[in-house]
A and B are shown apart, each in its own frame.
Chain A
């Protein structure tokens, strides 16, 4: 089977076009997942506060672990689409890591002053702040990551 160079160029351009459009059309990750992970962290900090009985801690962590496993399963097996790992660029991963670190910093910014004032459950109160921050900014980051990946496909990187 042989085709002309013009047809080959059109085919390659079509491949890039369909891939770029597909990646751009969906957020890079679902925001419910990151919010769920932030709530998981909230739960962990709550059940591991000093003074909590070992039985409560163990039960709470077990329930949270099951919930986290269910979320991971739902993400891995039920997502509308997941970008192929070969298209995920190091810059995109570092954007995501930076966002997670900023989210943790938000939690610490709330928890540490409360802890200094010896407010009870200071750590637990920092986590909802992180959850709200992730819920508010997650859609923007998810779209930004999709856009960066789609741009890289369009530019042939």
Chain B
């Protein structure tokens, strides 16, 4: 499992992880939630569309034009592989052991 450089940059990771939680989201929703400007989102969305990770749909709500973004099947696979790679890095480190110990002690104290 490898870190995907197309996803790993902070803004990209925010956009892709947000899209991973939805079937589809309006451009303005992604922009507001990711806390990026129109131009930054537009640039990243186009780049992700070029590599086949994101699908962009144009439409209208009433008379107003709208744009929706969604992860493609390829994009979703890449996202899941990226998350798995991050989890593997943590699991292989001492940090993984610390996190495991913390979650075990948390479970014990809840009981």
Q: Chain A: residues with CB nearer than 8 A to chain B?
A: 1-6, 8-9, 11-12, 14-15, 18-19, 21-23, 25-26, 77-85, 87, 153
Q: Residues of B contacting A25 with CB < 8 Å?
A: 33
Given A11-B86, A78-B61, decide whether A18 and B34 contact each other with a Cβ distance below 8 A.
yes
Q: What is the predominant secondary structure among interface residues of chain B facing chain A?
A: helix
Per the bound structure, the CA–CA distance linking A99 and B61 in Å amounts to: 29
Interface size class on chain B is 20 to 34
Per the bound structure, the CA–CA distance linking A18 and B33 in Å amounts to: 7
24 contacts between A and B (CB under 8 A): A1-B2, A3-B89, A5-B93, A5-B94, A8-B89, A8-B90, A9-B90, A11-B8, A14-B14, A15-B20, A18-B34, A22-B18, A22-B33, A23-B21, A25-B33, A26-B29, A78-B66, A79-B24, A79-B26, A80-B25, A80-B28, A82-B23, A84-B20, A84-B23
Closest to A77 in B: B59
B90 A22 Cβ-Cβ under 8 A: no
A15 B29 Cβ-Cβ under 8 A: no
